[in-house]
Each structure stands twice: as C-alpha cells, then as structure tokens.
Structure 1
Amino acid sequence: MRESNEQKDKIIVKIVEDLRTIEYILRDFDAVFVPSITSQIPDLEAYSKKIHNHGNVLVVMETTRYIGLAVLYANDFEGKVAYLSQIGVKPGVQQSGIGTRLLEECINKAKSLSMETLKLEVAIANEKAISFYLKHGFEYYGKASSDTQYMIKEI
C-alpha cells in the first residue's frame, strides 16, 4: 500500500526529551526491532540516558500509543555525519508512510544541525529494512560486523 500525500501530511512527528519517556518508548518498541533492542543493549536505563544527553528521539503517536520511533545522533560536527541508530514502526501500521515520515524528519533535523551525511548500521539478514533504505536513497558503505553493514546517504 502506498501512502498518498494527504495521508503523509497527517503523520505528525514529535521530539521526545523526557528521560523516563525515552526509556518507556525503548521498552515499548523492543520487539519491533530485529534483533531486539535489549538483546543488543541490556541496560536500557543507561542507553536512555545516553540518548537523552547526546541524541534525538522522534516519535509518531496514534491517540495515546506510540506507533513510530527513530533515534538520531547528529553531534559529529567535525565530520558532519549524523547516525540513525534506530527507526521502527509497530506492526499493523507498517507500510503506511510512518517510516518514510520519520526518516524525512531525521534528515531535516540532521540538516538543521549542519550534517551532510546520514549513516546507519543494519542487519544483513534484515532484507525489509535494507529495501526501505535503498528505496530512500541509501547506498551500501561496507561491513560493520559479520552480521551487519553500514549504509549512507548524502543529505
């Protein structure tokens, strides 16, 4: 299903700055990611503090529940490289433009902080995510580990 511009315009992205809310959202989205957040980062409290102090959390809400999440670091002012740490959409609302809207807002945020490149790391087995990134102009940038690869996009 492709989103129309009208649908896309109705997707409101908000920035979350409250530490407890960041930790809550990470726990809420844990199983959305492959592999899960907690399988990679067992101490979500410390990770939440790191994001709170150095990153940006962007969310999409549907009434009172979070349905989209992106975590962006845009603090490499020397290299001008922003890093998309996570982006995910809850099952049931995927393929509705939420991921695209979150990515657009991450790019806008990175550009507003004078970043020129957006970089991310993705599991090689996560074909769905790789397809999404390729569709949005990312290119392969080499292996990050035996299971993951980097992708970049000039912004």
Structure 2
Amino acid sequence: MRKKIEYLLSNLNNKLEGNFLKMQEKSIAEYANKIVSNANIVPILEQDKLEAFIAFYDNDPKKEIAYLSMLAVDYGSLGKSYGKVLMETAINILRKKGFRYFDIDIDVDNSIAIDFAKRYGFKIMERGEKIRVRRVL
C-alpha cells in the first residue's frame, strides 16, 4: 500500500505544481511510510489502482480525539464522490470505536478543504498558521 500511496501523492503533487503537499517530512516517500506505519488507512482501489484514500490517526488510548492526516483523490477520479465516501466511512469507523472528536489541521489558504470539512459538520476551533477544525462524533 505504501508504494500506491506514494505514487498517488506524487502524481497529485506534480499535477498541482508542488502545491498539494506542504509537509515537514523530507519526501513523499517518508510521509507515505509514516502514515502506512501509524495511521488507519481506508483505500478505494479500482483494478488494483489506488484511486483515493483517507488516512487518520485513531491511536488515542482514551478515545478522545482522532486526527485526519490525509484525504487524497486521484486527479482523474474527481467528481466520483470518493471524498464523501471516505469521510463518511472514517466518521463511522471512529464512532464505532467510541471516539468523541475528529480533528483536522488545514492550511489557512486551503478554502476547498475548509469548505469540505464544514459540509461534514466540522467547526473551526483554532486559527493560526493552520486552522484546526473539529467534528463531534
């Protein structure tokens, strides 16, 4: 799965001229390895090609807060409602596990992600270099 995630993220980053991923990790490969090792990943595969995935951290032993790390949809698969399916799936998984909150940190200039989160009931909690949004589960 790591190679498929790395390939999808690299394609998205290239298509968007390097503006898709703004991370502290040194490379897409390191980021892909990090989420495969530590996150819960829900993929959408078509004929063994990764079309989209959501990665979130649900390792809080108190089951208070889960964190969305990445939701990515292949550029050629936009408009197929994969983002909606993945967000709803993640929310349902977290509810079943008994989590109370689902948080996302979003770049302040990423209005598409902010609007997407708001459609799913996320509310702005903090503003700074990033915007923290939270959904009560």
TM-score interval for Structure 1 and Structure 2 normalised by the shorter chain? 0.7 to 0.9
Specify the alignment match of 2:70 in structure 1.
86
- Percent same amino acid among aligned pairs? 21
The alignment's TM-score, normalised by the length of structure 1, stands at 0.72
Deviation at residue 113 of structure 1 after TM alignment: 2.9
Q: Map 1:6-155 onto structure 2 (within 5 A).
A: 18-31=1-14, 35-37=19-21, 39-40=22-23, 41-78=25-62, 80-143=64-127, 145-146=128-129, 148-155=130-137
- Between the aligned partners of 1:149 and 1:106, the Cα distance in structure 2 is 20
Deviation at residue 22 of structure 1 after TM alignment: 4.1
- Between the aligned partners of 2:67 and 2:47, the Cα distance in structure 1 is 29
Contact 1:22 1:57 in 2 (8 A): no
The one-letter code matched in structure 1 to 2:20 is S
The alignment's TM-score, normalised by the length of structure 2, stands at 0.80
| Cα distance, 1:52–1:96 mapped onto 2, change above 3 Å | closer
The one-letter code matched in structure 1 to 2:56 is L
- Between the aligned partners of 2:132 and 2:8, the Cα distance in structure 1 is 25
For structure 2, the 5+ residue unaligned runs are: none
Q: How many aligned residue pairs are there?
A: 135
The one-letter code matched in structure 1 to 2:59 is N
Contact 2:6 2:28 in 1 (8 A): yes
| Cα distance, 1:31–1:106 mapped onto 2, change above 3 Å | farther
| Cα distance, 1:56–1:24 mapped onto 2, change above 3 Å | farther
For structure 1, the 5+ residue unaligned runs are: 1-17
Higher relative contact order (CA 8 A, sep 6+): 1
